Structure 1
Amino acid sequence: MRIRSIILEKLLNFLMALSIGLMSIFVFGNVILRYVFNSGLTWSEELARFLFVWMTFLGAIGALKDNKHLGVDLLLRKLPPNLYKLIYVIGQIVILFLLLIILHGSWKMTLLNVNNYSPAIGLPLSSIFLVGIVMSVCMWAIVIYRTYCVWFKKEQSNEIGKSTEFEVFVKQRGNKK
């Protein structure tokens, strides 16, 4: 399981790096072509926009995996462990519900745009909306796994849902005393 997680993490990071690299090359190349040669590539801006959309959604998956999404847990940390677990699980259920809404909307938009094509490169627009499906399914897997760990695995329940910055802050304050 751990090896699969590492491979998927490396694949996700590679796809995001590839997206930003290609975006930079296309946009920079188009700027050079426009200002130096007085012509440009009609498809480069559109492809850069599509890569940006995919990179953003893939980055959301990576942020959830690394627990880097913005969250305020100041009050939650003061709760007893069992109540903390319960509220954490309720929050994860709300997240699952919202991901289900995104999945449903992305599925409808993907099917709706199967026969529509982008004007410059002719790529089916459904490939753009497909990223919502990919993101929802991947995030569902992460949230389900974390919820399972918090609810059933005692040794991992203290690690999930806590930001590393807070842990560093607590350790630093503990060392000063």
Structure 2
Amino acid sequence: MAAAPPAPPPSVAALARQTEIVIARILEVPVAILVSAEILILFSGVLARYVFHQPLVWSDELASMLFLWLAMLGS
């Protein structure tokens, strides 16, 4: 039997996969922080509106901006 051929050099797909893994690791913490902040802000807005009967006027705007950042970082 003949010896196995030498392994081909890393392909573009392998390089792209490694790049994707590095970017995902870099973005994991900021995205988790943004999701946590989004949940806290929306919960505090609902709590203020329905329990204390004084809505936080800034909570919906801030939640919208955070959601846009989440969409940009997640794409």
TM over 0.5: yes
Structure with max Cα Rg: 2
Residue type matched to 1:9 in 2? A
Q: What does residue 9 of structure 1 align with?
A: 24
Tell me if 1:35 matches 2:50: yes
Root mean square deviation of aligned Cα = 1.6
Partner amino acid, structure 1, of 2:24: E
* Distance (whole Å) between structure 2 residues aligned to residue 11 and residue 47 of structure 1: 24
How far the C-alpha of 1:11 sits from its partner, in A, is 2.8
Query: Cα deviation per residue 1:102-134 (whole Å; 9 max; x = unaligned)?
Result: xxxxxxxxxxxxxxxxxxxxxxxxxxxxxxxxx
Q: How many residues align?
A: 56
User: Greater helix share, 1 or 2?
Assistant: 1
Return the TM-score normalized by structure 1.
0.29
TM-score, normalisation: structure 2:
0.65
Gaps of 5+ in 1: 61-177
- Tell me the alpha carbon deviations over residues 47-99 of structure 1, each in whole angstroms, 9 at most, x when there is no partner: 11001001011111xxxxxxxxxxxxxxxxxxxxxxxxxxxxxxxxxxxxxxx
